[in-house]
Amino acid sequence: MKTLLQYLSDVRSEFTHIKWPATPQAIGYTALVVVISILVAALLGAFDFIFTFGVEEIINRF
């Protein structure tokens, strides 16, 4: 039990060393992650559509 309490105490002291971002910076980073995620999803969706269409065309020709 003592090691658990020591661990929690160490974690609490480490939290004082964290430099948290300012609110505008956190909002900006969050928006950036959302925009990049949407772009990557659209790109992967486009590739999926193109490859699916291509494979279906190849299968239908034979």
| pLDDT by residue, tens only, the chain of 62 residues | 679 999 999 999 999 999 999 999 999 999 999 999 999 999 999 999 999 999 999 999 88
pTM higher than 0.75 for the full model?
no
Tell me which H or E stretch contains 47: helix 23-61
Could you give phi then psi for residue 10, rounded to 5 degrees?
-65, -40
User: Cα angle vertex 34, ends 41, 18, to 5°?
Assistant: 135
Residues 6+ apart with CB under 8 A from 21: 29
Q: Where are the domains of the chain?
A: 21-62
HSE value, Cβ hemisphere, 13 Å, CA-based, for 13:
6
The pLDDT of residue 2: 78
